[in-house]
Amino acid sequence: MRLYFITGADAIHQIMSWKEPERLLSLCDFVAVTRPGYQKNQMFEEIGEIQEKYASRIHYMEVPALAISSSDIRTRAQRGMPIQYLLPQEVEDYIHKFGLYQNERKDEVKFMLPIEVMQEKLQSALSVKRYIHTMGVSEEAVRLAEIYGTQADRQKAKVAGLLHDCAKDYPKELRQRFCKEYKVKMDDILEQQPDLIHPFLGAEVAKREYKIKDEDILNAIRYHTTGRAGMSVLEKIVFIADYIEPNREQFEGLDEARRLAYLDLDMAMRFILEQTIEFVKERGRLLHPLSLEALEYYKNR
């Protein structure tokens, strides 16, 4: 018996992003159904590429009147828009009865600036090297959030990762001006160790320049260098992602930190704090009390 997976032709473009696409392509044949106005040539190209790569069988079927898309129905259900006549009454009743797709809506995080705009702003505020690091932290944070967080955490992790170093490349004068303007609380250690200012200033810049309102994101930026006791999942994710992101050049302890990060967030926190504190001491730099409090906390977890 042969199984056929009938789907809209647009879904064929996305197959490679599905879970275990090769396995799926070996289990069944796909039937790609086009909707009116669909760019068939592009679809042929796509199918050609997939077929060549996976020797799978994808069939093409033109159904001129089919203008209904399942993803459109899901989006409409998420937004509370009518879905009547787009699917059988029984299915509509079932969706309403069990509140399907509603959770996704609750979990959606809204940002005032589109992420692409944030990226553009960052590109002009950061050196190329720092921007590449930033993208790496964002990717790594999303990967960690996929394991440890909710759908909302993934979106927050992406943005917090992007913005964590947003104030790091400011020239001295600009940094001082912003610190004053945004009332960043200075203490002896920050005065003597200007390196440590960027997470605290970064949180204020994220709030004002990037219009971030979510306190968890702001705290993830604020504590990404020092850490602190009792961090939220997102705070830990950004702290760890900053240390292990894929563009980091190899250093002692990196592989172990990566291993621990995907095993247990608290164990990774403890390990990274220990490494960082040792590194800071070796170089005769000042330790922020928040880091010591954090280490004490994660030692006892």
* Chain positions contacting Fe ion, by CB under 5 A: 165, 242
HEC sequence for the chain? CCCEEEEEHHHHHHHHHCCCHHHHHHHCEEEEEECCCCCHHHHHHHHHHHHHHHCCCEEEEECCCCCCCHHHHHHHHHCCCCCCCCCCHHHHHHHHHCCCCHHHHHCCCCCCCCHHHHHHHHHHHCCHHHHHHHHHHHHHHHHHHHHHCCHHHHHHHHHHHHHCCCCCCCCHHHHHHHHHHCCCCCCHHHHHCHHHHHHHHHHHHHHHCCCCCCHHHHHHHHCCCCCCCCCCHHHHHHHHHHHHCCCCCCCCCHHHHHHHHCCCHHHHHHHHHHHHHHHHHHCCCCCCHHHHHHHHHHHCC
CB of 294 vs Fe ion, minimal distance in Å: 15
CB of 188 vs Fe ion, minimal distance in Å: 20
CB closer to Fe ion, 83 vs 261: 261
CB of 260 vs Fe ion, minimal distance in Å: 19
CB of 273 vs Fe ion, minimal distance in Å: 15
CB closer to Fe ion, 8 vs 161: 161
CB closer to Fe ion, 12 vs 273: 273
CB closer to Fe ion, 46 vs 140: 140
CB closer to Fe ion, 168 vs 270: 168
CB of 225 vs Fe ion, minimal distance in Å: 5
